[in-house]
A and B are shown apart, each in its own frame.
Chain A
Amino acid sequence: MADIKKLESIASQVRRDIIRQVYLCQSGHPGGSLGNADLLVALYFEVMKHDPSFNMKAEGEDVFLLSNGHISPVFYSVLAHAGYFPVAELATFRQINSRVQGHPTTHEGLPGIRISSGSLGQGPSVACGMAMAKRMNGDDRTVFVLTGDGEQQEGQIWEAALFAPHNKLENLVLIIDDNGQQIDGPTEEVLRLGSFEDKYKAFGWDVMHMDGNNMAETVKVLKEAQAKRNGKPTCIVMKTAMGKGVDFMEGTHHWHGKAPSEEQTKVALAQLEETLGDFPA
């Protein structure tokens, strides 16, 4: 039985790390990172079987791939607290000579990263390849991949959306962060996406829903998707609030890619309990 309170307390620290990483270098993407803190904590601290000593091939392990690489602060914080690399390294985010690059990359050898991402729309294809390799190898673990909702505007997404059900990739779980926001404004105004459920069902996927800012529900739905083997890939349409956990950042695209000032950082951190100790600045 998952200890939801413990997972929530880890997520609180992850949110502090997000604000502090972005504040320190005055650059990065806090909004989507805050919104996805609960998801990544659920995956890495409860749902996935994974080994922080890090083996690129992930034999016998579940895999998470981040396609919307700009929410790197949440990914880095979760990987560090999960034991992939020292938490202190978060202080080097986006700074010169760091492994903790603006967008995640394998190129600097940061443990936990399996694919570079940032140019959008590519993660689901890579996840299809990993899911196929697992099947070829008789490895029944699951491949999770996260995309933004705005990212679903990329054409390559729909190539992968055809490929996965055609190849019966039942060990693949695509999560869409349905926060309704992208850089230039609400997705409804920028380029309407319509119903993800209708689209993915029409393409041959199973579709599930969850509130990605409700830890108990997130854990429950992820575990169901992980266990499911019925010949179909799974798409989870995940509702989140961009900026979740910091009142003045919540539900708006204005904090998609903007760093808070010193005063705003103080206000934000006052709303987020320090549970595991802040990384040294």
Chain B
Amino acid sequence: MLSLNKLQSTGKKATRDGFGAGLKAAGDKHDNVIMLTADLRGSMKSEDFINTYPDRFIQCGISEANMMGVAAGLATAGKIPMTTTFANFSTGRVYDQIRQSIAYSDKNVKICASHAGLTLGEDGATHQILEDIGMMRMLPGMTVINPCDYNQTKAAVQAIAEHHGPVYLRFGRPGWPIFIPEDQEFVIGKALHLNEGSDVSIFATGHLVWHAVEAARQLEAEGISVDLINIHTIKPLDEAAVIASAKKTGAVVSCEEHNKYGGLGSAIAECLSKNHPTFQEYVATDDTFGESGTANELLDKYGLGIKDVVAAAKRAIAKK
């Protein structure tokens, strides 16, 4: 059982580095894992896989729509294609290709998307997609996963290679604390309980899990007991874990690097409204585009900082 004192940062690495490590491990195990990219191999930190398995790497050029179709064709023939590019170009740009050629066609394609959310940083809003979880979550049959650190991303890549069906795997650019134990099992669709508590439930995904951990430490220091749950798989949602925690605490906070519409917060609200209606506070972007800046400057400016999680928890408790 994990708890706050076991969740210490052991250094920083990007979740995209975790993708590269996980891809190599999945490639070692499955000779039908194929990597595709649309002119962003360098950003995907996958040189280890590419150099080891050059015949299983497909460079598509700046042609994301074609890449999704090629992946669907490879999957039809029994391969396990993993498409790679930035999250914006992995989703919004190619929604119809994913919808028809992958999701509706029941293809075993893994859409692996880096540089998601505000933490992409200086490139600004054109590249900072904050709507991707919503788009992918709406597609019938699509599994949506947003791991929180290097270790969890590495484990998630290996898990999705074993899973049959389309998957959207979302990760990011910046160096980020590594705090999930390296040997922690990753089970698709199963929430990871990070701390047992009774006053407030904090559900977090992606980079914001670290902020939730740090916020929980501050809240516990103030005598507030936090039930902290990492929802790495947003779809299918671990409804049992969400309901059980909400019943226990009666106050809920959702934390994500995504618009308040359509993402983790929406998924939790949908679940609780029909099972155990509970007051909920959202730590999410407020229906806005981002802008240029460093990752941490942007998280602070757009209300996704550690202090924002603390404040949201107190607001949720106050509504009980």
The interface-forming segment of B20-28, B100-108, B277-285 is B100-108
Count chain B CB atoms within 10 A of each CB in A56, A118, A119, A133 and give the residue with the most.
Answer: A133
Cβ contacts A115-157/B at 8 Å (1 or 0 each): 1111101111111111111101100000000000000000110
- CB pair B66–A115 under 8 Å, yes or no, is no
CA distance A118 to B79 in the complex (A): 24
B72 at the interface (CB under 8 A from A): yes
Given contacts A107-B106, A155-B65, A163-B61, contact A130 B77 (CB under 8 A): yes
Q: How far is the CB of B80 from chain A (nearest CB, A)?
A: 11
Q: How far is the CB of B93 from chain A (nearest CB, A)?
A: 11
B181 at the interface (CB under 8 A from A): no
B112 at the interface (CB under 8 A from A): no
B222 at the interface (CB under 8 A from A): no
B55 at the interface (CB under 8 A from A): yes
Chain B residue numbers with a CB within 8 Å of A124 are: 69
Cβ contacts B89-114/A at 8 Å (1 or 0 each): 00000001101110011100000000
- CB pair A162–B72 under 8 Å, yes or no, is no
B60 at the interface (CB under 8 A from A): yes
Q: Which of A116, A119, A163 contacts B63 (CB 8 A)?
A: A163
Q: How far is the CB of A111 from chain B (nearest CB, A)?
A: 14
Q: How far is the CB of A123 from chain B (nearest CB, A)?
A: 8
- CB pair A125–B100 under 8 Å, yes or no, is no
Q: How far is the CB of A164 from chain B (nearest CB, A)?
A: 10
Count chain A CB atoms within 10 A of each CB in B58, B63, B73 and give the residue with the most.
Answer: B73
Q: How far is the CB of A188 from chain B (nearest CB, A)?
A: 26
Cβ contacts A94-121/B at 8 Å (1 or 0 each): 0000000000011100000011111101
- CB pair B73–A160 under 8 Å, yes or no, is no
Q: How far is the CB of A142 from chain B (nearest CB, A)?
A: 14
Given contacts A57-B76, A105-B105, A131-B73, contact A116 B66 (CB under 8 A): no
B268 at the interface (CB under 8 A from A): no
- CB pair A160–B77 under 8 Å, yes or no, is no
A189 at the interface (CB under 8 A from B): no
Chain A residue numbers with a CB within 8 Å of B97 are: 122, 125, 156
Given contacts A122-B101, A156-B97, contact A132 B73 (CB under 8 A): yes
B70 at the interface (CB under 8 A from A): yes
Cβ contacts A52-69/B at 8 Å (1 or 0 each): 000011110000000000
CB nearest to B65 among chain A residues: A156
A224 at the interface (CB under 8 A from B): no
Given contacts A125-B73, A126-B73, A163-B63, contact A133 B78 (CB under 8 A): yes
- CB pair B74–A160 under 8 Å, yes or no, is no
Chain A residue numbers with a CB within 8 Å of B96 are: 119
Q: Which of A58, A59, A160 contacts B66 (CB 8 A)?
A: A160
Chain B residue numbers with a CB within 8 Å of A133 are: 73-74, 76-79
Given contacts A106-B105, A162-B63, A163-B60, contact A116 B100 (CB under 8 A): yes
Chain A residue numbers with a CB within 8 Å of B61 are: 159, 162-163, 166
Q: Which of B70, B72, B101 contacts A163 (CB 8 A)?
A: B70
Given contacts A115-B105, A122-B69, A129-B69, contact A159 B76 (CB under 8 A): no
CA distance A261 to B61 in the complex (A): 49
Q: How far is the CB of B172 from chain A (nearest CB, A)?
A: 27
- CB pair A137–B77 under 8 Å, yes or no, is yes
Q: Which of A125, A132, A159, A162 contacts B101 (CB 8 A)?
A: A125
CA distance A156 to B98 in the complex (A): 13
Chain A residue numbers with a CB within 8 Å of B76 are: 56-58, 114-115, 126, 129-130, 133
B226 at the interface (CB under 8 A from A): no
Given contacts A133-B73, A134-B77, contact A125 B68 (CB under 8 A): yes
Chain B residue numbers with a CB within 8 Å of A57 are: 76-78
Q: Which of A58, A128, A136 contacts B69 (CB 8 A)?
A: A128
List 30 contacting pairs A-B, 8 Å CB cutoff, sorted by A: A57-B77, A57-B78, A105-B104, A106-B104, A116-B101, A116-B105, A117-B100, A118-B100, A119-B96, A119-B99, A119-B100, A122-B65, A122-B101, A125-B73, A125-B101, A126-B72, A126-B101, A128-B70, A129-B70, A129-B73, A129-B74, A129-B81, A130-B74, A132-B58, A132-B73, A132-B74, A133-B76, A156-B66, A159-B61, A163-B61
- Given A125-B68, A128-B66, A167-B58, 15 extra CB contacts under 8 A: A57-B76, A58-B77, A106-B106, A114-B76, A123-B69, A125-B72, A126-B73, A129-B70, A129-B71, A129-B74, A129-B81, A133-B77, A134-B77, A162-B61, A163-B63
